[in-house]
Amino acid sequence: MTASPRAATRTAALAAALAVLAAGCAAAPGLHARPAAAQPVCAGPAVIGHRGSPLDAPENTMASFETALRQGADWLETDVQTTKDGVPVLMHDATVDRTTNGKGAVADLTAAEVAALRVTVGPGPDEPVPTLDQLLERLAGSSVTLLMEIKWQRAEDVTRIARIAAGSGAHVFLYSFSAEHLRQAHAAAPDLPVVLIQGASFAEDPGDLPLHGIALDATLATASRIAAERKAGREVYVWTLDDEDSWQLMTERSADGLITDAPGRARRWADANCRTERPVAPRGARAH
């Protein structure tokens, strides 16, 4: 049967639209397309690259994040400090002393001064200190979740960081040891999930904070604690896990995420030990 010219035109238009849609959904190099809900994925926890892949590249640099993604990390984890002139940059410590060729507190340096530094800690060539905007721009529109720690800083800086993340187009979870910082962030960007970090020596009470999840030091991540958090509707991410025994243990305890300095090894282990597959949304997609 021969199609009418009008039908042929409609068919061609539909094919063109589908081609554009497919191109738009393709992931950028190094990033993962978010799986469709019906696509089988491993039922195990997400592999979260702690500061990227710091055993392979300088921590909290674009090289480290790109390496983690190439290695198969599901999520990235990073830390945000704010410069003297209000620019959020990716740095774990309050000072640049340990990780760069410079000296001084991040809060006492301008963005230009931080940009002139090189991250020297870790393997591989020295790298520049990224701004938060650089990483968010890289992840915008991708399937990769960014678990972003807001370090101790001024309330106005917390608000600025939350609003930048909310408007970035990236999939961001805000987390912090400070329940007050999370309250400030939630007030500024209520659509972003918030996660409280609890350590063996420091664990604030979240009170009525609407937590999406909790990040536990491995020493706190007992089977009963993880079960209680999940029963309360909170996801559980455990840090910092760098060996097969700990990955196995936290998988058996139903942790939602493994925060690791070795995302490549963790990915290979997870793939080799995936007992079941199920059609589910990605971790972190739970309603909140």
Phi-psi label, residue 54: left if phi above 0, alpha if psi -120 to 50, beta otherwise: alpha
156-189 pLDDT, tens digit per residue, is 999 999 999 999 999 999 999 999 999 999 999 9
Distance CA 49, CA 44 (A): 16
43-73 pLDDT, tens digit per residue, is 789 999 999 999 999 999 999 999 999 999 9
Q: Is residue 108 part of a domain?
A: yes
**Which residues are 198's β-sheet partners?**
216
Of 80, 247, 102, 246, nearest to 153 (Cα)? 80
Q: Is residue 69 part of a domain?
A: yes
Q: Is residue 37 part of a domain?
A: no
Give every CB contact of residue 283 below 8 A, 6+ residues apart in sequence: 45, 46, 74, 75, 145, 235, 256, 257
pLDDT confidence bin for 7, thresholds 50/70/90? very low
Per the structure, how many domains does the chain have?
1
100-153 pLDDT, tens digit per residue, is 999 999 999 999 999 999 999 999 999 999 999 999 999 999 999 999 999 999
SS3 94: coil
Q: Is residue 8 part of a domain?
A: no
Q: Is residue 82 part of a domain?
A: yes
Give every CB contact of residue 195 below 8 A, 6+ residues apart in sequence: 147, 173, 174, 175, 182, 211, 212, 213, 214, 215, 235, 237
Which pLDDT score is estimated for 196? 99
Residue 224: CB atoms within 10 Å: 8
Q: Is residue 180 part of a domain?
A: yes
Domain limits at 244?
A: 44-279
φ, ψ of residue 66 to 5 degrees: the values are -65, -40
CATH of the domain at 56: 3.20.20.190
From residue 17, give the alpha-carbon distance in Å to each of 21, 23, 29, 33, 157.
Answer: 6, 10, 23, 19, 43
Residue 272 has pLDDT above 80, yes or no: yes
Q: Is residue 84 part of a domain?
A: yes
Half-sphere exposure of 98 (CA within 13 A, CB side): 8
Q: Is residue 9 part of a domain?
A: no
195-238 pLDDT, tens digit per residue, is 999 999 999 999 999 999 999 999 999 999 999 999 999 999 99
Mean pLDDT of 82-111: 99
